[in-house]
Chains A and B, each alone.
Chain A
């Protein structure tokens, strides 16, 4: 019998503060007559005492704490997937490994390929498990990303305008093992498509640039070609019939809807009513959490999986198709099986309830945060953070065993559970 491998447990951490995206668009004077079609509602905004490490640890800690000491000692790889790195050499995994209290016999590294990073990390971990080189081992894959740019002047605001409403923050932690309760990966069932394109990028630690049209076009091309590569590898694969549900990387919901429409027209010449019904049935459940957190980059496809499992009625095991795209670009279409048991385990994390407890920022508070005067910048050597820039948010953050960034000493980030 084949070894099983996939996601044993999954948790999302969606931050401490949120912003209403419609209000932001009105505030920026964006003319969006059909805003509702873009399927955006809220986004998470990182506070000064949060960084990619705190997001990652806050997502992973409940999963690690739930393990027995014996199982915890079998975590032999921590892969951090991010485009929000804090150092060119030292990986985020080293901090995360420390604050999770994991054993020393562990591979620690970080990987990058824009929003594709999470799937790259998951596949590395799955293939480590399937290789059988360390029977019974587990890997921790953590996608952690936040968009926090130095919007010092109007020009910087303008450069970021194409994605400010959709850029969010969040982390997804996944324990990968040979007991894949949440998602059993279909072995060998995947397809890739990648090519060089300058659609969106982070050319500096505090900047992001891009072209919305080119990015969307590359996403659409990849979605079609990665699925066709999947179908080439998997006998009888059919986009309409093989997958009960779908989760796509979600920059914002409207983009996923556009990609689904593109594929349904290209593959089946489907009619608009059929496309709409299929989207509502198979894809829209995966948008439930992303609509509240915004684009979480590498984690977004797994945020989709979590949203799907939180919101659907699942009576029997079924197959989910996943599509991951990262600008620049690389993409993958793959699949796995979810079960009612995995759904109960995921629901026990109460992810939506945690999002409900975020502090809702006013636009004034948001603008103040954007100035970034309280934020540690890339390359900074020494700093201390006043955590109570927004007193109510800091008050609510404490008392739940979450990690907070306190400052820097000689480039070394200092954290504390509060």
Chain B
């Protein structure tokens, strides 16, 4: 799965977990915190994304990205190893 598809999956999961964001444009330079998501919602979105792209990794390996684009880059890198 390419990086932009992974980004689209992340954005899709954000809109599913927080339906209030369904209509709001979301760009990759934004972070989940900037979108108003709390830590529980952020972890749920990461978990759902892992499931959707078929990755099984410890969650702590996905700590660190500062925005959605960086998270997509990291997931993309992990999916190739």
Contact = CB atoms under 8 A, between A and B. Distances in A.
Q: Do A and B actually bind? A: yes
A38 B38 CA distance: 9
A217 B60 contact: yes
Contacts of A212: 39
B57 to A, nearest CB: 9
A221 B51 contact: no
Interface stretch (B1-9, B22-30, B42-50): B42-50
Nearest to B51: A265
Given A220-B47, A258-B43, A32 B38 contact: yes
Contacts, number: 51
Contacts of B44: 258, 261
B58 interface: yes
A339 B41 CA distance: 36
A271 interface: no
Nearest to B39: A212
B80 interface: no
Contact of B40 (A197, A221, A255): A255
Contact of B47 (A33, A197, A214, A265): A265
B40 A254 contact: yes
* Residue from A34, A217, A257, A258 having most chain B Cβ neighbours under 10 A: A217
A221 B38 contact: no
A2 interface: no
Contacts of A218: 59-60
Given A213-B63, A214-B60, A265-B51, A220 B36 contact: no
Contact of B43 (A31, A33, A197, A220): A220
A354 interface: no
Contact of A197 (B42, B46, B60, B62): B60
Contacts of A197: 60
A273 to B, nearest CB: 15
Given A261-B44, A262-B47, A217 B62 contact: yes
Given A213-B63, A214-B63, A37 B40 contact: yes
B59 A217 contact: yes
A272 B41 CA distance: 14
A257 B63 contact: no
A21 to B, nearest CB: 14
Contact of A221 (B20, B41, B59): B59
Contacts of B36: 31, 33
Interface centre among A213, A255, A265 (most CB of B within 10 A): A213
A244 interface: no
A160 to B, nearest CB: 15
A216 B47 contact: no
Interface string A189-224: 000000001000000000000011110111011000
B45 to A, nearest CB: 11
A34 B38 contact: yes
Contacts of A220: 43, 47, 59
Given A220-B47, A265-B47, A265-B51, A258 B59 contact: no
B68 to A, nearest CB: 14
Interface of A: 31-34, 37-38, 197, 211-214, 216-218, 220-221, 254-255, 257-258, 261-262, 265
5 contacts: A33-B36, A213-B42, A216-B39, A217-B43, A255-B40
Interface of B: 20, 36, 38-44, 46-47, 51, 58-60, 62-63
Given A213-B42, A217-B60, 5 more contacts: A38-B38, A216-B42, A220-B43, A258-B40, A261-B44
